[in-house]
Structure 1
Amino acid sequence: MKRATLWPDDALPEHSCPPPWPGREVRLDGTVTYVRETPASGPGAEPALYVHGLGGSSQNWTDLAWLLADQLDGQAIDLPGFGRSEPGRRYTIPAFAERVIRWIEHSGRGSVHLFGNSLGGAISVQVAGLRPDLVRTLTLISPALPFLDFRRSLQGRMLPLLAIPRGERIAAWRLAQLAPEVMAQQVMEACVADMSRISEQRRQEALEEIRVRYEAAHYAAAYVRTFRGLVTSFLRSYLPGSGSLWRLAGTVRAPTLVVGGRHDRLVDVRVAPQTAQVIPDSRLLLLDGVGHVAQLEVPRLVARAVLGLLAETGDSARWSDMAG
């Protein structure tokens, strides 16, 4: 493990707040997967895939994908049951990883620079560990790798739901009690350390995403079942046998960037450094005053670290020309 290298800020586009990238529905294995695309703005850009966290969507990557578009031809998918994708049959880390692998194969772009936030980070570790041929580099932002002290997570309050048969019904009832505006504010406050960093445009987009959730009858069940699958993966990681995400992380060979916020309220703040210690070829960026979704809160800092990773692992002549 080593410290992440930050590429110069002036190598990035000037400050802007682009709208969400256009998306399309793709039928994959009998169900619809929704994908947003951030077309490359520079020659020679390489394929990238962005995977969101629990309760998120492909829209969480709007700013980072735009900042990296000169180097990366971006796609961001909605996982089954989230965003605008249809529900899935299983909501486990292996099932989600299988969908990501299928998407990479289906898209026909070859191996990708893979990005994952939170749940998406755990999924991306599974993909990189099982299919190293599909992953050029790996970027993990507040990855939800296993930890057992749920007092360190606001989501620990959801644990009783997992012991109740059809706990998703209670979650759906709770969802119906809150106005979308209130829910959007609560979600933002849980994920972001400094709300002043979030523009009014992004707040309105988050509100619209919440309204989409309210209209999706499957959403509450998808959320609860995914949380159950995540907790199950945590427990298995500390038991003998196969299925440990930590053991799988130790097999990852892709050059990896791990980003963590010191004010993360959803994933134990000790997880990001531990992840960087376990993955052999890793770089760590810990950010003071930043929460769970650094790609939303401080996208330029994250982009600079990603460009540092790409410069270190990519074509040296090309990056020397950029630096010059």
Structure 2
Amino acid sequence: MKPATLAPDRLLPAHSVPPPWPGRQVRLDGTVTYVRETPATAPDAEPALYVHGLGGSAQNWTDLAGLLADRLDGHAIDLPGFGRSEPGPRYTVPFFAERVIRWIEHSGRGPVHLFGNSLGGAISVRVAALRPELVRTLTLVSPALPFLDFRRSLQGRMLPLLAIPRAERLAAWRLAQLAPEVMAQQVMEACVADLSRICDQRRQEALEEIRVRYEAEHYAAAYVRTFRGLVGSFLRSYLPGSGSLWRMAGSIPAPTLVVGGRRDRLVDVRVAPQTARVIPDSRLLMLDGVGHVAQLEVPRLVARAVLGLLTETGEVRQQADLAG
């Protein structure tokens, strides 16, 4: 593990607030996956894939994907049951990882620069470990890798819900009791340390995303079952066997950037440094005063760290080509 390198801010585009990138529906293995595309602004841009967290969507990557469009030709998918994708048959980390693998294969764009936030980070770790030939570099933002002290997460309050029969119905009922505006505010407060960093346009887009959830009858079940699947993956990681996410992380060969916020309220703040220690070729960026979704809260800082990673790995590839 070593500290992340920050590229100069002048290498990034001027400050702007782009609208969500255009999206389309793709039928994959019998169900619809929704994908947003951030067109590259340079001819030699390389393919990238962005994977959101629990309860999120492809829109969580709007700013970061735009800032990196000069280097990366981006796709951001909605996981099954979230955003505008149809529900899936299962809601486990292995199932989501297989869907990401299938998307990379279906799109024919591999190997990709793979990005994952929170749940998307756990999924991306599994993809990078099981199918290393599909991953050029790996960037993990507050990855939801296993930790057992749920007092360090606001999600710990949900654990009793998992023991209740038909918990999905209770979650749907609770969702119906809250106005979309209240839910959007609660989600933002849980994920972001400094709300002044989120502009009015992003707040309005977050509210529209919440309204999409209210219209999707499957959303509450998808959320609860995914949370149950994530907790199950945490527990399995501390048992013998090949399914441990920590053991998988230790086998990843891809150059990796790990970003964590010191005011993360959803994932134990010790997880990001531990992830960087476990992954062999890793760089760590810990951000003071930043919460769970650094790519939303401080996208330019995250983009500078990604550019640092891309520059370093590009130079290594160049040297290898010259030596060959």
TM bin, normalised by shorter chain, reads: over 0.9
Say whether 1:198 aligns with 2:193: no
Distance apart, 1:277 and its partner CA:
0.1
Distance apart, 1:315 and its partner CA:
4.4
Q: C-alpha separation between the residues in 1 aligned to 2:317 and 2:170?
A: 57
1:35 counterpart residue number: 35
Identity of aligned residues (%): 87
- TM-score by length of structure 2 reads 0.97
Distance apart, 1:316 and its partner CA:
6.9
Change (3 A) 1:88 1:51: same
Matches within 5 A, 1:154-303: 154-303=154-303
Q: C-alpha separation between the residues in 2 aligned to 1:317 and 1:32?
A: 37
SS at match of 1:251: coil
Matches within 5 A, 1:111-190: 111-190=111-190
1:309 counterpart residue number: 309
Once the two structures are superposed, residues 290-318 of structure 1 have per-residue CA deviations (whole angstroms, 9 ceiling, x without a partner) of 00000000000000000000000014799
Q: C-alpha separation between the residues in 2 aligned to 1:110 and 1:82?
A: 24
Q: C-alpha separation between the residues in 2 aligned to 1:135 and 1:228?
A: 27
Instruction: Give the AA of the match of 1:68.
Output: L
SS at match of 1:73: strand
Distance apart, 1:268 and its partner CA:
0.1
Distance apart, 1:42 and its partner CA:
1.1
CA RMSD of aligned residues (A): 0.9
SS at match of 2:203: helix
SS at match of 1:171: helix
Say whether 1:70 aligns with 2:70: yes
Q: C-alpha separation between the residues in 2 aligned to 1:139 and 1:257?
A: 5
2:106 counterpart residue number: 106
Distance apart, 1:109 and its partner CA:
1.3
1:80 counterpart residue number: 80
Q: C-alpha separation between the residues in 2 aligned to 1:106 and 1:268?
A: 35
Instruction: Give the AA of the match of 1:43.
Output: P
Instruction: Give the AA of the match of 1:117.
Output: N
Once the two structures are superposed, residues 252-284 of structure 1 have per-residue CA deviations (whole angstroms, 9 ceiling, x without a partner) of 000000000000000000000000000000000
- TM-score by length of structure 1 reads 0.97
Aligned residues: 318
Distance apart, 1:126 and its partner CA:
0.2
Structure 2: runs of 5 or more not aligned = 319-324
Q: C-alpha separation between the residues in 2 aligned to 1:300 and 1:282?
A: 20
Distance apart, 1:110 and its partner CA:
2.1
SS at match of 1:257: strand
Q: Which runs of 4+ in 1 moved over 2 A?
A: 315-318
SS at match of 2:257: strand
Q: C-alpha separation between the residues in 2 aligned to 1:66 and 1:289?
A: 23
